[in-house]
A and B are shown apart, each in its own frame.
Chain A
Amino acid sequence: MRFFTTLFTAFRALRRNKMRSLLTALGIIIGVAAVIAMVGIGNGAKKQVEDQVASMGDNVIMVFSGSSSRGGMHGGSGSAGTLTIDDANAIAREVPTVEAVTPEVEGSTRISYGNQNWSTRLNGVSADYFKVRSWTFSQGTPFEERDVSAVAKVALIGRTVSTQLFGSDEEALGKTVRIKHVPFTIIGVLGPKGASFFGRDQDDTIVIPYTSAMKRLLGIKTIPRITLSVERGKSLAPVQQQITELLLQRHNIANERDADFSVRTQEEMARMATATSSIMTTLLGFVASISLIVGGIGIMNIMLVSVTERTREIGIRLAIGARGSDILLQFLIEAITLSLLGGMIGVALAFGVAELVREFTEMPVLITAGPVMYSFGFSAAVGILFGFYPARKAASVDPIEALRYE
């Protein structure tokens, strides 16, 4: 029999039992929808992290001060204070393709305006900082290099701080806040960036010149971190290597293993953060795939019932000259059609679920072609795999017995 005719026959058989066909395909529908939605949620989380990395700049390298390990006590990265402003300047001066360098000093602080006050993170940086981290400005302008040299009392605040203290970005501009009784004038409000991949609100911050931070507020001489950006399109690895060599030389350290600092790219840090969500995605996809297999078994079950039910039809077809292969193909196509239809509905359902999740939760869902194609192909494979046994059973029916079957 021609393939097209067989296809048509299969379609008609399915249409005759609409309800049964739908229920049979339900396993596949749910399976496919589950795979796509689960992987979508997993990928959404991953994408979120990647976006945050991108928001930090994918060309960013961070140099951390080494951990202190005096007397067996281990402090965190940067606790040893081995990096200096001179190190930062040396990197800017001597490493090619470095675009912008900023020392970063940090501390938590309480800032007050009128009778309001707010605890936030204090960031002391150079004018290059805004370039390195690709900050945008909601209001005002960044401070400049001469503000840094002048140890100026100027500050930029994040969206969260402006909302908490002033209600809006516009209100904040030009106001004077006090940080540890030192008055700072707000010259700008940073554009919103959201949470970092470590879960910290990046907008809950106040940024001032590092000189002001070190001399007026924190009273420190070393810096825990240097952040720098590399020219677009240049690879990070050689820069990373050059910085390492430069700092080893400056710190008089012969062996890289003894380095009192570490050089990390943003990518390396992001990779650590995304590793978890990748594992979760794989796991979710795997569990959902099992439901696809269960769906396939459902199809096999119903196809087996269908073959028994239609024994007489098979007998008639065989008697008038259908070959076993014709019957096999007919039932196989029925099973594949069921699973493919289920797959299609499942894909549609997955998009619906994704919309709902976006609507009612904060979770980002990212549906990509990969899982759609994977689950669709998987459902087709399930159709062939689990349709084959019933189809073969149908094809091996004895026509004499079948014609006698009531």
Chain B
Amino acid sequence: MWPQINRVASIFFIHSLARAGIPPYLGALMSSIIHLDQLEKVYRSAEEPVYAVRSVTLDIQQGEFVAIMGTSGSGKSTLMNILGCLDRPTGGSYQLDGVEVSSLSRNQLSDLRNRKIGFIFQNFNLLSRTTALENVELPMLYRRSAMSRREQRDKAMKMLDLVGIGKRAYHTPNQLSGGQQQRVAIARALINDPVLLLADESTGNLDTRTSIEILGIFQRLNDAGITIVMVTHENDVAQYARRIIVMRDGRIRSDTPVTQRLNAEEELKNLPAVDAA
């Protein structure tokens, strides 16, 4: 049931299911979204080959919320780029939602990113001087779907409402706060109903309260069945995920479930109510 919902049903349906309290970990019983087998990334342009990622084998199932941790140079960014189909591995195999990525062309990678992956970046990466609504519409414009402009606009609007920023649809990024910009970025990431949400240090530029709010959105989306992979170097942030993978020197050092998971809603209540975000 979950895979169909994830792909076909509108985000509202997912949302209502989440509110109905259907257990999301059922997704774990389903197919793997990410399957890495002996994945390797070597840069050979230098005099000595640099191993960014060495022989990583990993499975991430439908509905998981994974935090990838590691110091800089641990290979987590490279792994992230490969998971996001921005880069191709030099060895091993990577299957995203059943598609072997390592042999795809540049254009095929573009299409894959467009349809299957939603990116959320540390610095939001919204198009400046372009309204929130248009930023959210952008992935649909590259989708080559038969959707009319009107339908696209409606869908983008609904998506902005979902992340709680519908009222600011016609604001440009420089008129929005960091938290608001990140919400727009989340709406953009979700617009093409991706199978995987990739968050790269997505709370790195935000204050504590806003960070928790964004993590709360992630948790809600994950509860609704969306698979999330989040790269972070902050242990606090990682505690909101369900599973933590720690990388070092291009290898997976540990892969553990989160035992004492933080809940964003509760954490927000515990925050001293100094200034409302």
Chain B CB within 8 A of A237 CB:
no
Please report which residues of chain B, range 166-202, place their CB below 8 angstroms from some CB of chain A when the two chains form the complex: 188, 192
A312 to B129, CA, bound (A): 14
A302: CB under 8 A from chain B?
no
The distance from the CB of B45 to the nearest CB of chain A, in whole angstroms, is 13
Q: In the complex the two chains form, is A317's CB within 8 Å of B138's CB?
A: yes
**Which A residues between 275 and 322 are near B, CB-CB below 8 angstroms?**
312-313, 315-322
Task: Pick from B111, B119, B144: contact of A319, CB below 8 A.
Answer: B119
A97 CA to B127 CA in the complex, in Å?
Answer: 79
Interface size on A, residues (CB 8 A): 21
Complex formed: what's the CA distance from A403 to B201 in Å?
A: 14
For the complex, give the distance between the alpha carbons of A326 and B143 in Å. 11
8 Å CB interface, A322-350 against B: 322-326
For A399, list chain B residues within 8 Å (CB): 86
The interface residues of chain B lying within 8 Å CB-to-CB of A403 are: 86, 121, 125
A116 at the interface (CB under 8 A from B): no
Task: Give the interface centre of B110, B121, B125 by most chain A CB atoms within 10 Å.
Answer: B110
B residues in contact with A326, CB < 8 Å: 142
Q: Is A269 an interface residue (CB 8 A)?
A: no
- Let me know if A313 and B143 touch, CB within 8 A: no
Q: Which residues of A contact B125 (CB under 8 A)?
A: 312, 315-316, 319, 403
Please state if B113 and A323 are interface contacts (CB–CB under 8 Å).
no
Q: Does B95 contact A (CB under 8 A)?
A: no
Expressed in whole angstroms, the minimum distance between the Cβ of A54 and any Cβ of chain B is: 58
> In the bound complex, what is the Cα–Cα distance between A316 and B129 (angstroms)?
14
Question: Which B residues are in CB contact (< 8 Å) with A323?
Answer: 106-107, 110-111, 142
B127–A313 CB distance below 8 A: yes
Distance, CA A315 to CA B115, complexed state (A): 17
| Distance of A196 from chain B, by nearest CB (Å) | 64
Q: How far is the CB of A128 from chain B (nearest CB, A)?
A: 76
Is B203's beta carbon under 8 Å from chain A?
A: no
B87 touching A320 by the CB < 8 A rule?
no
Asked if B110 contacts A324 (CB within 8 A), the reply is yes
Does the CB pair A319–B106 fall under 8 Å? no
The A-contacting residues of B in range 60-103, CB under 8 angstroms, are 81, 84, 86-87
Q: Which of A1, A321, A326, A403 has the most CB of B within 10 A?
A: A321
In the bound complex, do residue B106 and residue A324 qualify as a contact, i.e. CB atoms below 8 Å apart?
A: yes
A403 to B119, CA, bound (A): 12
In this complex, what residue of B is CB-closest to A399?
B86
A403 vs B87: C-alpha distance in the bound complex, in angstroms? 13
**Structural contact, A2 and B141, CB atoms closer than 8 A:** yes
Give residues of chain B (128-151) contacting chain A, Cβ–Cβ below 8 Å: 128-129, 138-139, 141-144
> Which secondary structure dominates chain A's binding surface?
helix
Interface string of A1-21 (1 = CB under 8 A from B): 110010000000000100000
Please determine whether B141 and A400 come into contact, CB atoms closer than 8 angstroms: no
Given A312-B125, A403-B125, verify A319-B142 contact (CB < 8 Å): no
The answer to whether A1 touches B142 (Cβ under 8 A) is yes
> A16, A315, A319: which has the most chain B beta carbons within 10 Å?
A319
User: Which of A2, A317, A324 is within 8 Å of B107, CB to CB?
Assistant: A324
- Chain B residues with Cβ under 8 A from A322's Cβ? 110, 114, 142
For B107, what are the chain A residues with a Cβ–Cβ distance below 8 Å? 323-325
The answer to whether A321 touches B129, judged by C-beta atoms less than 8 angstroms apart, is no
CA of A323 to CA of B119, assembled, Å: 16
Complex Cα–Cα for A312 and B110 (A)? 16
- Also in contact, A320 and B188, with CB within 8 A (given A16-B129, A312-B125): yes
What chain B residues lie within 8 Å of A324 (beta carbons)? 106-107, 110
Write the nearest CB–CB distance from B224 to chain A, whole angstroms: 21
Nearest chain A CB to B135 CB, angstrom units: 9
User: Of B110, B129, B192, which one neighbours A318 at CB under 8 angstroms?
Assistant: B110
For the complex, what is the distance from the CA of A400 to the CA of B115, rounded to whole Å?
19
Give every chain B residue within 8 A of A317 (Cβ-Cβ). 138, 142
* Docked CA distance A399–B125 (Å): 12
Task: State whether A320 touches B139 (Cβ < 8 A).
Answer: yes
Taking the closest CB of chain B, its distance from the CB of A119, in whole angstroms, is 76
A106 to B154, CA, bound (A): 89
Whether A321 contacts B111 by the Cβ 8 Å rule is yes
Residue of A nearest to B149 (CB): A5
Are B139 and A321 closer than 8 Å at their CB atoms? yes
Closest Cβ–Cβ distance, residue B41 to chain A (whole Å) = 12
Per the bound structure, the CA–CA distance linking A102 and B87 in Å amounts to 91
Q: Do residues B84 and A319 form an inter-chain contact, with CB atoms below 8 A?
A: yes
Q: For window 197-226 of chain B, which residues contact chain A by CB distance below 8 Å?
A: none
- Against B, the Cβ 8 Å flags (1 = close, 0 = not) of A76-105 are 000000000000000000000000000000
Q: Which residue of B lies closest to A319 (CB)?
A: B119
Q: Give the residues in chain A near B192, CB-CB below 8 Å.
A: 321
CA distance A340 to B88 in the complex (A): 40
Within 8 A of B (CB), among A51-86: none
The answer on a CB contact under 8 Å between A400 and B138 is: no
Q: Contact between A400 and B113 (Cβ–Cβ < 8 Å)?
A: no
Partner of B127, one of A1, A316, A318: A316
Q: If A16-B129, A316-B127 touch, does A321 touch B81 (CB 8 Å cutoff)?
A: no
Could you tell me the distance between the alpha carbons of A313 and B135 in the complex, rounded to whole angstroms? 11
How far in angstroms is the closest Cβ of chain B from A262?
73
Determine the distance from Cα of A324 to Cα of B114 in the docked complex, in whole angstroms.
Answer: 13
Q: A316-B127, A399-B86, A400-B81 are in contact. Are A1 and B141 (CB under 8 A)?
A: yes
Measured between beta carbons, the chain A residues less than 8 angstroms from B114 are 320-322
Q: Which residues of A sit under 8 angstroms from B188, Cβ to Cβ?
A: 320
Min CB distance B1 to A, Å, is 27
Contact residue among B121, B127, B143 (Cβ-Cβ distance under 8 Å from A321): B143
CA distance A16 to B128 in the complex (A): 11
Q: Which residue of B lies closest to A318 (CB)?
A: B110
A sample of 15 inter-chain contacts (CB < 8 A) reads: A1-B141, A5-B141, A16-B129, A313-B127, A316-B126, A318-B86, A319-B113, A320-B188, A321-B111, A321-B113, A321-B115, A324-B106, A326-B142, A399-B86, A403-B121
User: Shortest 3 CB-CB distances between A and B: which pairs?
Assistant: A321-B114, A323-B110, A320-B139
Given contact pairs A321-B113, A400-B87, a sample of 4 additional A-B residue pairs in the complex whose CB atoms are under 8 Å apart: A312-B125, A321-B111, A322-B114, A323-B106
